[in-house]
Amino acid sequence: MRNRHDNPWSVARTILLSGLVLSAMACGGGGKQAAPSGESSTGGGGEAAAPQQAATTSGPTGTATITGTVTFDGAVPNLKPIDMNADPVCAGKHSEPVYPPILVLGPDKTMAWVYVKVTAGLPQGATWPAPSQPVVIDQQGCMYVPHMVGVMTGQPLEFQNQDKILHNVHLLPEKNPEQNLGMPATVTEKQLTFSKPEDPFHVKCDVHPWMSAYVGVTDNPFFDVTGKDGKFSIGNLPAGTYTIEAWHEKLGTKTAQVTVADGGTQNVDFTFSVPTN
């Protein structure tokens, strides 16, 4: 499901640690989405609201909720600012250094842009219709905002061009068709949908190679994307035992099993760290 670069720790740095943004990371739900809660990373190209979980419209649902917090353990990698000088228009949109959002952390090393979803435990053969409201990724300051989104199969994914300069949106899924959307200054939005569930895949701009986002596609509404506070919440679940997966673009996946009753809330936390080898 919430693309792959070379060694991320040699590319750049941003992370908010006790009020200071440091970073080390690079486009869940059914509503329009934006940057993690609080301000976006320095590399996020502007401030926006936290991503939201998809709204359940029908299908097997319940009153159970799974919540948790995702944190980072270990020394924060030092990364270099993005060099936007290849496009003076992009460089001129920023008064401070911009860092790639590869690892955006909050004051307590809570992690943004972690995609959390239910991978097992849902009723067999159950179906949920896709929300009609699009998930939105904007192009702001020559960056994708937000950096990570989730969308349901059949739900519109809308790319906007607030920059009003030439961009292209190059989507690189493996199960769904690859797409390359030209977005000149006169094109402010384009929509598309996906027919197959898929692990997060990379979205890039061939005009501005530092632009990077991720999209995860599911056939159910039980997923979320963390904000800078590292928190996620997956609600409206039927009572049951579920496998929960947390995905990060560079640090891999973590899984946990949790049992939750009707009307109950169970907490499960995840911790990521940089591999030592």
Cβ neighbours around 246 below 10 Å, total: 26
Spatial separation of the C-alpha atoms in residues 83 and 71, rounded to whole Å:
28
Q: What percent of the chain has pLDDT over 90?
A: 74
Which residues, including other chains, have CB under 8 Å from residue 178's CB and lie 6 or more apart? 170, 171, 172
User: For position 58, what pLDDT does the model report?
Assistant: 65
- Whether the ω angle into residue 123 lies within 30 degrees of 0, i.e. cis, is no
The confidence score (pLDDT) of residue 112 equals 97
> Alpha helix (H) ranges present in 168-232?
none
Instruction: State residue 6's pLDDT score.
Output: 40
In this structure, the number of other CB atoms found within 10 A of the CB of residue 15 comes to 29
pLDDT at residue 74 greater than cutoff 90: yes
The number of beta carbons lying within 10 Å of the beta carbon of residue 74 is: 12
pLDDT at 124: 84
Per the CB < 8 A criterion, the answer to whether 164 and 178 are in contact is no
Residue 115 has pLDDT above 60, yes or no: yes
State how far the Cα of 199 lies from the Cα of 209, in Å rounded to an integer. Answer: 22
Its pTM stands at 0.80
Topology of the domain covering 8-59+75-115+126-232: Immunoglobulin-like (2.60.40)
Residue 191 tokens read as 């929509």
> Across the chain, what does the average pLDDT equal?
84
Whether the predicted pLDDT of 32 surpasses 80: no
pLDDT higher than 90, residue 143: yes
d(CA 215, CA 235): 21
- Give the DSSP per-residue string, 41-98: PGGGSS--PPP-PPPP-SSS--SEEEEEEEEE-SPPPP-PPP--TTSHHHHTT-SS--
